[in-house]
Amino acid sequence: MARYIFITGGVVSSLGKGLMAASLAALLQARGYRVRIRKFDPYLNVDPGTMSPYQHGEVYVTDDGAETDLDLGHYERFTGVSARQSDNVTSGRIYQTIIQKERRGDYLGATVQVIPHVTDAIKAFAQADTEDLDFVLCEIGGTVGDIESLPFMEAIRQLRNDIGYENTVLVHVTLVPYIAAAGELKTKPTQHSVRELTSLGIQPDLLLCRCEQPLPESERRKIALFCNVRKEAVIPALDAKSIYDVPRQYHEEGLDTEVLRAFGIDNKGKPDMARWDDVSERYTNPEGEVTIGVVGKYVGLQDAYKSLSEALVHGGMANRVKVNIEWLDAEMFENPEDLAAQLEPLHGILVPGGFGERGSEGKIASVKFARERNVPFFGICLGMQMACVEAARNTSHIAGASTTEFGDTDEPIVGLITEWMGAEGLEKRAEDGDLGGTMRLGAYPAKLDGNSHVRAIYDSEEISERHRHRYEVNTKYVETLENGGLIFSGMSPDGELPEIVERPDLNWFVGVQFHPELKSRPFDPHPLFASFIKAAVEQSRLV
């Protein structure tokens, strides 16, 4: 039976529970254990698919088509274990499932209550699909004391009783703030947070204390005394130089050792950290640097492009260079003078995914600049579609070219797809249907042209990449666009959906309908990002 590690947070949000969970899982994995990480999100949305990036950050998409919390991206990048639909659940999804059962009469007339029905559903989620695993790490979103998280906390309390305390460990992530005026670290917020947790019937086994200053032994003893844990189980977590240093830092502070001790597992061995040492060395000691401009719509919140920024860093690691990212608001590029001043110093231009018309003309202008100046260009999802609209207008002479996403047009280079072939057959969507969960989601295969640039990059004739979109390039325009120099080098296996475009006459110009950033890992950079950064390195020698 799998053992469970529950991760909660206190005092304030944004303490890094997701990164902590990913790092602990990586450490256990480095010791030879099989791991999986899950996220409980207390909000009432069924999933983050309809939430604004400014509210929630990016939506991370799994191979099986789940729209999930961005923390699952951390989990995948740190462990290499592909997340699944069953690895992220929200209060909204739990309540939706229960209400559907109640409407069908599945409860046989019983009064439906938070206990036991909601808590039983949460426990069932936690225990589903855990065969052949050694550890399941479950991160609870939000902070202890939030009214939304109470059913999840109660479910944890019950589950520890159900499967035995010897099979569960609870790690509480908390804040030890430094008061500059007093010159002291204050332990009282941690004490109050643990008191709140124990009032719910849950005693933590370990405390991970986020702090800006080293945590003295005296303060560790004080926290241990008041919070009823061993001093060695009070783990300091100072800010690291990079997220890729966190696994080793936590190991050196004894996190994985104490977790195994709490389970009663012999932990005399050491994890194999060679992979993480190599990642850290490549990140810390680059042999050069490049600057990539990301021309997007949500650049005010970098979490909206979290996987993208990490994939660019991974591409830098593959080429042993530091990647400097310039976040550029697409709306300001609707003035040509502003565009040239901002884009000329760049070694590469990337136009990412997004939704809606705002900033679209700036994105199109950025594509045109990259094409005319032969600057490495990478278009992702909407970025590829804008590359096709730019090609239609400027190299295929279709003056009114646009996309139906922005309104009615006589030249719909990009249009809404209402049906496509999925893993389980034909999938259909209504134009006026619900927004949530109705896009083309998850991993789909594509076939690559044997003579194309992307065929050489992937070193494969068939690929599988993750999608999240509801508009596609109209195949009616393929021949016209190719006559203008934009080549369709990747298509769906049935030849109906364009997946990749490129310009073979330029140094590096690729647009993809999917999201390759979702499959990039620090120890296994995505080939498209590695190749893009390589082209940027070559561009930097020309500037």
Q: Are 32 and 188 in contact (CB under 8 A)?
A: no
Tokens of 515: 């999201």
Q: Which of 381, 390, 453, 499 is catalytic?
A: 381
453 is catalytic: no
Tell whether the torsion through CA atoms of 199, 203, 204 and 210 is positive or negative.
positive
381 is catalytic: yes
517 is catalytic: yes
Give long-range contacts, CB 8 A cutoff, 24+ apart: 192-197: 192/11, 193/10, 193/11, 193/143, 193/144, 193/145, 194/10, 194/226, 194/227, 194/228, 196/10, 196/144, 196/145, 197/8, 197/10, 197/144, 197/153, 197/172
* Residue linked to tokens 């068939």: 462
Length of the chain: 543
CA distance 461 to 340: 37
CA distance 259 to 220: 17
Q: Which of 390, 405, 502, 517 is catalytic?
A: 517
Q: In terms of C-beta density within 10 A (0-12 exposed, 13-18 middle, 19 or more buried), how is residue 312 classed?
A: buried
Q: Which of 117, 453, 515, 526 is catalytic?
A: 515
Q: Are 48 and 38 in contact (CB under 8 A)?
A: no
CA distance 96 to 133: 28
Enumerate the β-bridge partners of residue 61. 67
Q: Are 206 and 174 in contact (CB under 8 A)?
A: no
**444-473 exposure pattern, b = at least 16 Cβ within 10 A, e = fewer:** bebbbbeebbbbebbeeeebebbbbbbbbb
User: Annotated catalytic sites, by residue?
Assistant: 381, 515, 517
